Amino acid sequence: NAGVMQNPRHLVRRRGQEARLRCSPMKGHSHVYWYRQLPEEGLKFMVYLQKENIIDESGMPKERFSAEFPKEGPSILRIQQVVRGDSAAYFCASSPRLRRDEQFFGPGTRLTVL
Amino acid sequence: AQKVTQAQTEISVVEKEDVTLDCVYETRDTTYYLFWYKQPPSGELVFLIRRNSFDEQNEISGRYSWNFQKSTSSFNFTITASQVVDSAVYFCALSESYMNSGYSTLTFGKGTMLLVSP
Which segments within A38-74 are labelled E, that is strand?
43-50, 53-56, 65-68
Distance CA(B107)–CA(B34), nearest Å, equals: 10
CB B78 within 8 A of CB B62: no
Is there a contact between B103 and A107 if contact means CB atoms under 8 Å apart? Answer: no
CB A7 within 8 A of CB A111: no
- 3-state secondary structure at position B53: coil
Residue A50, pLDDT above cutoff 80: yes
- Distance (Å) from the alpha carbon of A33 to chain B's nearest alpha carbon: 8
- Nearest residue of A to residue B31, measured between CA atoms: A101
Distance CA(A15)–CA(B48), nearest Å, equals: 37
Identify residues of A whose CB sits under 8 angstroms from chain B CBs: 31, 33, 35, 40-45, 48, 55-56, 59, 89, 91, 93, 100-105, 107-108, 110
pLDDT band at A100 (very low <50, low <70, confident <90, very high): low
10-residue mean pLDDT profile of chain B (118 residues): values are: 93 97 93 92 90 86 93 96 97 79 84 96
CB B58 within 8 A of CB B69: no
Distance CA(A2)–CA(A84), nearest Å, equals: 33
